[in-house]
Amino acid sequence: MRAQPIASHFIAGSYVESPGGKGFDSLYPVTGEVIAKMHAAAGSTIDKTVAAARAAQKEWAALSGAERGRVLRRAAEIIRERNRELSELETLDTGKPLQETLVADAASGADCLEYFGGIAADIHGEFTDLGGSFAYTKREPLGVCVGIGAWNYPIQIACWKSAPALACGNAMIFKPSETTPLTALKLAEIYKEAGLPDGVFNVVQGFGDVGAKLVAHPGVAKVSVTGSVPTGARVMAAAAEGLKHVTLELGGKSPLIVFEDAEIENAISGAMLGNFYSSGQICSNGTRVFVQKDIKQKFLDRLRERTSKIRLGDPMDEETHLGPLVSKPQFEKVLGYIGKGREEGARVIIGGDAATVPSFKEGWFVAPTVFADVTDNMTIAREEIFGPVMCVLDFDTEEEVVARANATEFGLAAGVFTKDIQRGHRVVAALEAGTCWINAYNLTPIEMPFGGVKKSGIGRENARAAIEHYTQLKSVYVEMGDVESPY
């Protein structure tokens, strides 16, 4: 069961220990068993990592985009070759079912590396004809970028942040969540094997204080964070001291709207994927499911029936649909929200408690839970729960549901199910969300930008939009004639 790496950190191409840093354990969420003992990075380790990254970045940026792209594409190939090994490690670290990690974690990370490896040779500026003279722009790397990851998709997030950064000629220091520290180290090994120069991608472990030191370090040019709104606010404030570039992908309380003409089985599939996948631990989840009143009861009856067939169990069993929550604190938090929902008058139609799985009595399992009769002012309809808890609300009109869907400080995602494609486009145009789906939910192909508005974030992950966040423009004016002067 142990997955102990050679050492806690991967710096300048080698595993490094930092015994002066605070120790912490990585736990298997099914049993609470310790699978790895780690050390947080001490201050001197952070300084050495930034220095190594700064030196390596110059070498990396001097290569052509085509050369950088070849390294990224080779890394993608290695990830695919080792997908099962990486998926099993991800399952061990997060508790997510192997059924999911085999298709949605390392595999999607490989897609990301392949995509940015493919466009690395095509990162360029623009030419402007000025009638004799001309101007052009160049996209240049920022320098050393820091990526701070969340615990729900550890290797995917590490790829989403590092691939565009490296394609643009930057170096990256990645700090995974202390809850899920393991797969980022494997990614560092893979980058090295693929030919990435030592020091271009580094991994340091630790808690919030390590992240804060990285953000504040004068040798760092940019910070990209996936995390909570409070974490994002702290990072943005700290980065402002050095006027650093910042990308934030934060929390959500996203609406999923089901109109009376929707194909109901597809809508229920979308709602289940948007609430129960990864045990509900996805920031973009559509946890406020608005169902038009005429089909509400039909929707609830079928939803209950399908939810009852979800199989909880050993996440290493590929037949398991739902694993445990990632940690005991998260388990207790989610149960607290379920209790709050009951107290405030919401009706549980299925689930609503911790789940007991044979042979894993110590695991942090929560039964997939659906609340009906939820109103907009209830705590479970306003705050991000981050567990397998769905809130179903009803509505009468399009205008009403759009207003209620937008009545939140979040704006990460939204979904609409309807056969009326004109209404679908009209509604998503009115929704205050950065990522929207029509007749689908939580599909995030690498070719589509992903990110939020309002308190759900700043900037975008993925697609060509990410290139703007990892480069800076240099403008050049070229005079082809004589320089006129009154002097």
SS (H, E, C) the chain: CCCCCCCCEEECCEEECCCCCCEEEEEECCCCEEEEEEECCCHHHHHHHHHHHHHHHHHHHHCCHHHHHHHHHHHHHHHHHCHHHHHHHHHHHHCCCHHHHHHHCHHHHHHHHHHHHHHHHHCCCCEEECCCCEEEEEEEECCEEEEECCCCCHHHHHHHHHHHHHHCCCEEEEECCCCCCCHHHHHHHHHHHHCCCCCCEEECCCCHHHHHHHHHCCCCCEEEEECCHHHHHHHHHHHHHCCCEEEEECCCCCEEEECCCCCHHHHHHHHHHHHHHHHHCCCCCCCEEEEEHHHHHHHHHHHHHHHCCCCECCCCCCCCCECCCCCHHHHHHHHHHHHHHHHCCCEEEECCCECCCCCCCCCCCECCEEEECCCCCCHHHHCCCCCCEEEEEEECCHHHHHHHHHCCCCCCEEEEECCCHHHHHHHHHHCCCCEEEECCCCCCCCCCCECCCHHHEECCECCCHHHHHCEEEEEEEECCCCCCCCC
Each residue of 53-70: pLDDT tens digit?
999 999 999 999 999 999
What does the alpha-carbon distance between residue 176 and residue 196 come to, in Å, rounded to a whole number? 20
**Locus of tokens 């030196």:** 55
pLDDT band at 1; cut points 50, 70, 90 = low
Give the Cα separation of 123 and 105 in Å (integer): 27
pLDDT in tens, 351-366: 999 998 877 777 899 9
Q: Is 9-250+452-474 assigned to CATH 3.40.50.300? A: no
Q: β-strand 347-350 against 288-292: which pairing, if any?
A: unpaired
Mean pLDDT of 113-128: 97
What is the token pair recorded at 103?
């298709």
- The domain segmentation of the chain, as residue ranges, is 9-250+452-474, 255-438
Res 301 pLDDT > 90: yes
Compute the average pLDDT of residues 283-303.
Answer: 97
322 assigned binding-site residue: no
Q: Is 456 assigned a ligand-binding role in the annotation?
A: no
CATH number belonging to domain 255-438 = 3.40.309.10
Reading phi first (left if > 0) and then psi (alpha if -120 to 50, else beta), residue 243 is in: left
- The pLDDT of residue 358 is 78
437 assigned to a ligand binding site: no
Asked if residues 126 and 136 have their Cβ atoms less than 8 Å apart, the reply is yes
Nearest to 324 by CA among 17, 61, 31: 31
Over residues 251-261, the pLDDT tens digits come to 999 999 999 99
Distances (CA, A) of 255 to 90, 372, 428, 459: 29, 15, 11, 21
The answer to the question of whether 168 is labelled as a binding residue is no
Specify whether the CB–CB gap between 271 and 388 falls below 8 A: no
Residues annotated catalytic, as ranges: 161, 249, 283, 461
474 annotated among ligand-binding-site residues = no
**414 marked as binding residue:** no
**Chain segment 228-247, per-residue pLDDT in tens:** 999 999 999 999 999 999 99
Q: What pLDDT score does 462 carry? A: 97
Any known ligand binding at 149?
Answer: yes
283 is in an annotated binding site: yes
Give per-residue pLDDT as tens, 195-223: 999 999 999 999 999 999 999 999 999 99
Topology agreement, domain 9-250+452-474 and domain 255-438:
no
